[in-house]
Amino acid sequence: MRAFVVTGPGEAGPADVPEPVAGVGEVVVDVERAGVCGTDVEFFTGEMQYLADGHASYPLRLGHEWCGTVSGVGPGVHPAWIGRRVTGDTMLGCGECRRCRAGHQHVCETRQEVGIRGGRAGALAEKLAVPVRSLHELGGLDPMAGALVEPGGNACRAARAAAGERVLVLGPGTIGLLTALFLRAAGSEVHLVGATPWSVEFARGLGFPAATTVPDPPFDAVVDATNDPAAPALAAELVEPAGRIVYIGLAGKASLLDTRLVALKDVTAVGVLSGSPGLPDAIDAYAGEDVDPRPLVAATVGLDEVAAVLGGKRPDGAGAGPKIHVDPRW
């Protein structure tokens, strides 16, 4: 089959690889759609911290936002799974440690991450093998929405943690916009701040107040969905006393945060690593049309165009949204 393989910083492209075989407790999925994420860009450039920490190494196969149809099952998996349209959890815990037993498999010390960590091949390929325990059924969701469930799970968790009457979201990228959509569906008044005029304009097109400068407070909660190392401190300054800060963006270097400000304002700070606990709620929100993530997708490309996208090129004819999807069958 064809898959997108990264062999080193800036070195990547489609390659012929063996088709996956479902192991014990696994299924094989025919991939319909996969999303390109900022994490994928960091692997392409060589900046991803997992490379330095030894959690990942080249060559690797990216893709952790995906949907598809189960086409094969391994030993111990009921054949009734064949033909079901699914997406899957990125985080694959060991299932035995203290964290996994407590329901926190997404922070398991020895976890694999699909397309990211521990050598688990990703979904920028025609086929993908994953544990059946990681699957979530999509029902009638179309491929575009199905491949947005994983980032939607992250955003759903961030929105739940930031619940408030008036919320500020820093960073109108995919996660920031999805978080804003979930917050609005829950009844919050949401404002967005972006670094570029085009991102602000796109957020306004979704019906949000948005600007390149911070609007007047108060903010019951502030969500940092940026990669700006100055944003965490700014969020602490802007949030109301007794409010909530949600950190879901990651900067390329360490951020400085004066915890005296957090303590003296009696602020609750929440970090969100994974969409794992939010995946079912994201599917329900999409299926019930409380949240429609599809306007965020600017274009869908084939495997041959992925390297250019990771290098920063917008596909010809792309819309204004921040997300690029891949159909690996093209």
> Could you tell me if 152 and 285 are in contact, meaning their C-beta atoms sit under 8 angstroms apart?
yes
Q: Is the peptide bond before 218 cis (omega within 30 degrees of 0)?
A: yes
pLDDT exceeds cutoff 90 at 114: yes
**Model confidence over 246-289: pLDDT tens digits?**
999 988 889 999 999 999 999 999 999 999 999 999 999 999 99
**Model confidence over 216-232: pLDDT tens digits?**
999 999 999 999 999 99
Q: What is the pLDDT of residue 191?
A: 98
Q: Which domains does the chain have, with CATH numbers?
A: 2-148+293-326 (3.90.180.10), 152-271 (3.40.50.720)
Q: What is the pLDDT of residue 52?
A: 94
Which alpha helices (H) appear in the chain, and where do they start and end?
A: 38-45, 49-53, 98-101, 143-146, 149-161, 174-185, 197-205, 231-238, 259-264, 279-287, 306-310
Within a 10 A sphere around the Cβ of 86, how many other Cβ atoms? Answer: 22
Calpha distance 263→97 (Å, rounded): 33
Within a 10 A sphere around the Cβ of 267, how many other Cβ atoms? Answer: 20
